[in-house]
Amino acid sequence: DHERRLIDEMFGVVRVAGESEARYGELEQRMLSLQRENLDLVVKNRMLSEVSSRDALTGLYNRWFVIDKIDSEMNRALRHGSPMSLLMLDIDHFKRVNDTWGHGAGDQVLQAIGKLLRDSCRVYDVPGRYGGEEFCIVLPETKPGSTEVVAERIRSRLEATELPCGDARITVTASIGIAGMDTTEMNELLSPAALIDRADQALYSAKNHGRNRVELWDHALYQGTGEAPGH
């Protein structure tokens, strides 16, 4: 009887071990299945995030993504004492393009400009379409003064490039405004909206001085106010 009970117990252990192994295999398969589903979900979420951050016409980042990027880059610049710059670009007399060739052709021009901006940026710059025919580029780790060289290169390249416009090819020019955060400036009270406003006002200064030019924001432009006036 004692030996029989011992043998029964041994067979019971073997049986439980077999069931446990089968259970373990089942759990392992379920775990692998969940991992595949989670990976698929992560990929889809990333794709959705990427699509939602892009401008449908030009493929550049959209206004809301750029504003969020300006905020994060300003915070990073404050933490590390590093510079950053913002470039605002507006196509001169773009209404004439739409009025002459139609909005479809105008969209072609905007798409070509978007590609030109992408090709003109470093991998960590953030080019975006701010709205209509206005574009912007966030430049991390770049002093405002150094950004003038980048802006002038984009301005001259755009002026020299023939862009598809319906059945024709045309050239357009752009006015560009620059603002930024430098390590020598007190920036703690500067908000993303204020930085955008500075770049925008420098842009309008470029337009007021004849268009197809680059202007850098500085306090001397708006003496007595400390900030640019509204549009």
Q: Which of these is catalytic: 73, 133, 134, 215?
A: 133
Read off the pLDDT of residues 108-133 as tens digits, 9 standing for 90 and up. Answer: 999 999 999 999 999 999 999 999 99
In sequence order, what E strands does the chain have? 84-91, 126-131, 134-140, 163-165, 168-170, 174-181, 214-216
Residue 28 has which token pair? 């392992």
- Residue 159's CB is within 10 A of a number of other CB atoms, namely 13
> Would you state the pLDDT for residue 164?
95
Q: Which residues of the chain have pLDDT under 50?
A: 224-231
Q: Is 133 among the catalytic positions?
A: yes
Give pairs for 206-210: CB < 8 Å, separation 24+.
Answer: 206/175, 206/176, 206/177, 207/90, 207/92, 207/175
Read off the pLDDT of residues 189-198 as tens digits, 9 standing for 90 and up. Answer: 688 999 999 9
Phi, psi of 34, rounded to the nearest 5 degrees: -65, -40
Phi, psi of 165, rounded to the nearest 5 degrees: -145, 90
Ranges of H-type helices in 53-174: 63-80, 94-101, 103-120, 144-160
Check: CB of residue 216 under 8 Å from CB of residue 152.
Answer: no
